[in-house]
Chain A
Amino acid sequence: MKAVVVGGTRGMGRALARLLAERGDGVFLLGRDAAELETSARDLSARGARGPIATGHLDLAEPEGFGAALDAADLALDGFDALVVTAGDFASQEALERDPARLRRLLDVNLTATAVLCQQAAERLAARGGGTICAFSSVAGDRARRSNYLYGASKAGLSAFLEGLGLAYGDRRVRVVCVRPGFVKTAMTAGLPVPPFAGEPEAVARLVLRAIDRGTPVVYAPPIWRFVMLAIRLLPRAVMRRVRF
């Protein structure tokens, strides 16, 4: 596989990029911080990557740069066949309620930018005979909850987009994987109280890699969240109004 990874310097993206590199896949890391990208590329190479490892600039806040970033990836990997977007924005409900600009930035990054990037990449892959798009949404998008519906809305939109993308491009052999992590212990969630069933980034990465290989449309990680969210989706609205989580 020749994978473009957005967010591969940190958290679940770092763990996933390592799995890809260690099994011999080519990896093109895209991100904002050139020094961090360089450090992560050295990490992948020193871990024994056999495929090509390279980096390029991409800022999810600047969609006008997406085309150039994908061009650079195509050049470095001689045509990529998978795009993985693990990057995303996160802020507490309280911060998003307080600051409209912050809320807008989060919605822009998690929904608008990610959708624009995946749409562009899907078109590229379809034109050359197929490939895989994998993006990290969240269980928070499965059902709105009063305690985090702003972040949840960005992920609900992303999940809907990814479902549609998979339906629309299936005929052209583009497979779409929507990852819905529950609580995973990364730098993003540091400081939040750790709920039951919290996952480790390495274990999530292994699940996601399997889903990418198989083209599984929706993957919950850790897997128990599939059932947790099923139960939460079935709760009547009257109950959802009363619960505090």
Chain B
Amino acid sequence: MKRLLLLLPAAAGAADLEISIEIPRLQVAEYHRPYVAAWIEKPDRSVAANLTVWYDTGMKDQEGEKWLKDLRQWWRKSGRKLDLPIDGLSSPTRPAGKHPVPLDTLELPALSEGQYTLVVEASREVGGREMVRIPFAWDGAQAVEQKSTGKSELGEVTFALRPTP
């Protein structure tokens, strides 16, 4: 169960967040697993919460961080301000297939009532780059369940945010 607490300031109560990201199988001459980042954005496009970043975490001397800037929007909005690796956020790259995002150890900041966008960005070495954006409204009471599909570098992205009973 991918579960975490979103601490709501006034309304109180918590919420469960579940995200799944699909990496499509691509027929290309040279394939490397993509770097992927997911975050929740406020209407002014600033970052409300970082959810995950998949990159070459296993390389020596943190060589894998050299290409993080190719997750261009994530790098601009928050990556460049972070000191990686971060427990619960940094994660290895994934092969083709559907992958639940491991959110269980992540501490997320408060998400007050309002409009948000879930953003998933993928960038592949010698390949393309794509962002999937899923706008949603959160009032702390009504569950949100949505999905969207990328065209090139991302498959299906599913997203559920449910108030904890």
Partners in one complex: no
